[in-house]
Structure 1
Amino acid sequence: MIAWRNRGAHTEADRDAPKIHLDVLRGNAEQLAIRFSGLDAKMLLGGYDAVRPATFKEVASLINAAHHLVAELVL
């Protein structure tokens, strides 16, 4: 989420997400679609590569994923 924002807001910033993170999204596309109500990983990554703003669904899904991560870390 931070890398996506930086790509659009800061031309001088370290703007790229680590390749390993992008590979996780590619490699888990089916599970992402199931867990996040049809989130299309290919469309998400295509938008990231094209430096287009995230859609509402993408933002909501990324926030939801962050909430899941925090819940897992707290347990």
Structure 2
Amino acid sequence: MKDKDEAYKAFGQRLREIRRSKNLSQEDLSGRADLDRTYVSGCERGLRNPSLKTMIRLAKALEVDLKDLFDA
């Protein structure tokens, strides 16, 4: 389980990094991705396990390739 938790946290940190680099609030991103703001917050904190479909929505909302959410 520890590896999963670390992966969720790493994904969340990268998501937050990209969001901030684009000067977007969590609310802005959630609106663009049609997700609840609290869900985006949970993803960024590593508390959520987003589906592939959700990760694609986040990447499109951030205008990045999906792989960019995993590259550090």
TM class by smaller structure: 0.3 to 0.5
> What TM-score does the superposition give when structure 1 sets the normalisation length?
0.39
Question: Given the two structures, how large is their TM-score scaled by the length of structure 2?
Answer: 0.40
Of the two, which has the highest radius of gyration? 1
Q: Of the two structures, which has the highest relative contact order with CA contacts closer than 8 Å and spacing of 6 or more?
A: 2
